[in-house]
Amino acid sequence: MRFHIPFSSLKEKILILLLGAAGSFIIAVMTAALGIVGPILLIALAGAVFFLVAVCFNPKIGFITYICYTFFIPTLLKHNPAVPFGPLMEGLLLLTWLSVGINHFKFRWTSLRNQHCILALVWFIINLIEVVNPAGASILGWFNEIRSTSVTWLLIAPLPFLLFDKKKDLDLFIYLIIGLSSFATIYGMKQLYIGLTAGEQAWLDAGNDLTHIIFGKLRVFSFFTDAGQFGASQAHIGLIALVLTFGSFKWWKKLLLAVAAGLLIYGMMISGSRGALFALVSGLFVAIFLSKRIKILIIGSLIALSALYLLKYTTIGNSWSYHIVRLRTSMDPEDPSLNVRFRNQKILREILASMPFGGGVGVSGTNGTTYNQDKLLSTVPPDSYWVKVWVMYGIVGFVVWFSIMTFIMGKCCGLIWNIKDPHLKVKLIALVSGSVGVFICSYGNEVINVVPSSMIVYISWSFAFLGVRFDKESENSDIQL
């Protein structure tokens, strides 16, 4: 029997054969020149090309990758400080937006006409205008600062309306942040009970041991920027998991959520971050209020106030764990660290008395000490994101920022108040109450301006606005049934 091979098929086979031969030749040459590193680089390159193609076809892949990546940037930088992992974060967002542009015909663009996206744009424009702040801060410092203060928010806020526009996307987001945060707790326990990696130890030895080794005890930082950020994030996501345990879900889901909540609150404690407690408490009160259940409101308030009373007026637990002792100092108005912050604020108040528009974006914090060493404001640590905003934008900018933040959170609460679907409502309550906790906690640390917390807050707000559409879809499906 004779087989007939079509000419086009024959050409394809020859092409595949030539490509395979060329690939083998390249691998052989790179192996000879670089050793085992050669094939590894080629595999990484092939993986990168595959990822780029996948994102171009489906921008949601890029956004999900970004969400996961934000959890690991700090630890990547600790182990490889010379590699620019930070800009790669913006690169992922820009790649996602490029794919959104390519696939523009698939999306409901009218959904971007909402107050969250508009206010993110307003704050971005204000930050652009700040480049001509009369205080004359460094342009390089301004550029590096707006990446976190406004550009990230502007790029993130609209994406859930385009890519996460289904209730299953809300579930995916919650699974991701609770799962990754729980993994962060487990890794933090490894740091505490087994030890640090060489990169983490080198980071401590570079001067960070002054704030992370207290009385010979490690303040766990997991794979976050520092212990303060880790503790606040753990409290944030622990609160989300705790609120979800009160939802009408299957028993095994509630059990897993309860375990995750306990694990995350333990992570908060071993971080030694005292401000994180206020994220948990303030967010919990918001969640109880939004539940509109008087019985839970009364019982929850009594439990929370009782816990605060035990921390403030007793020494219960001091003999069990140093971390309880550390947490208890958050209730002490005579704490030396707290009074240092008050003294710094007094100094800043005197400097800013004649500067209603502040010292300019980038004049405070890390970018201040790096790019604005000649400015007096850069020499005083803000010790708080609220204070940092005041220093950079002045009292005028602070009032604008504070108004934007509180308006968005208030609007989210108002939207949730009228949600009828109980499953959807408890998920949105969990996310928004967590964002309120992060906002309050940012008075003590720069939490709401650092990933992954900032990313989670912005997406949570977008989901609160999307909740109205999700709720209507639930009503329509019930009517059809």
Task: Concatenate the DSSP letters of all residues of 227-288 into one string.
Answer: HHHHHHHHHHHHHHHHHHTTSS--HHHHHHHHHHHHHHHHHHHHTT-STHHHHHHHHHHHHH
The verdict on residue 233 lying in a domain is yes
Answer yes or no: is 21 within a domain. Answer: no
49 within some domain: no
Amino acid at the residue 55:
V
**Residue 137's closest CA among 375, 335, 458?**
375
Q: Nearest to residue 458, comparing CAs of 227, 119, 178, 103?
A: 119
pTM of the model: 0.86
- Cβ-in-10-Å burial (0-12, 13-18, 19+) of 48 comes to exposed
- Residue 437, in any domain of the structure: yes
- Residue 3 tokens read as 């087989």
Are 95 and 102 in contact, with CB atoms under 8 Å apart? Answer: no
Name the residue range of residue 153's domain: 67-480
Gap between the Cα atoms of 111 and 465, Å rounded: 10
Separation CA 130–CA 398 (nearest Å) = 13
DSSP state of 30: H
pLDDT of 329? 61
Q: Is residue 258 part of a domain?
A: yes
Alpha-helical segments (H) within 5-84: 7-34, 37-57, 59-79
Residue 26, φ and ψ in degrees, nearest 5: -65, -45
Six-digit token string for 332: 């002490």
Question: In 73-106, which positions are buried (b, 16+ CB within 10 angstroms) versus exposed (e)?
Answer: bbbbbbbeeeeebbeebeebbebbbebbeeeeee
Distance of CA 203 to the CA centre of its chain: 22
Q: Is 62 inside a domain boundary?
A: no
The pLDDT of residue 412 is 95
Please give the pLDDT value at position 396.
94
At 199, which amino acid appears? G
User: How many structural domains does the chain have?
Assistant: 1
pLDDT in tens, the chain (481 residues): 454 545 445 565 565 566 556 555 555 555 555 555 556 666 667 777 788 888 888 999 999 999 999 999 888 888 888 778 888 888 899 999 999 999 988 888 999 999 999 999 999 999 999 998 888 888 999 999 999 899 999 999 999 999 998 999 999 999 999 999 999 999 999 999 998 888 888 888 888 888 788 777 888 888 898 888 999 999 999 999 999 998 888 888 999 999 999 999 999 988 887 778 888 888 988 998 888 776 666 766 677 677 666 666 566 655 556 556 665 565 556 666 667 777 888 888 888 888 899 888 989 888 888 898 888 888 888 888 999 999 999 999 999 999 999 999 999 999 999 999 999 999 999 999 999 999 998 988 888 999 899 999 999 999 999 999 998 877 666 544 4
pLDDT of residue 432: 95
CA distance 40 to 25: 15
Nearest to 287 by CA among 272, 303, 274: 303
pLDDT given at position 29: 56
CA distance 194 to 481: 55
What per-residue confidence (pLDDT) applies to 281?
85
> Among candidates 124, 142, 148, 127, which has minimal Cα distance to 73?
148
Residue 32 in domain: no
Q: For residues 75 and 415, give the distance between their C-alpha atoms in angstroms, rounded to a whole number.
A: 37
Strands 217-218 and 213-214 turn out to be antiparallel
Q: Is 50 a domain residue?
A: no
Residue 218: φ, ψ to 5°: -80, 130
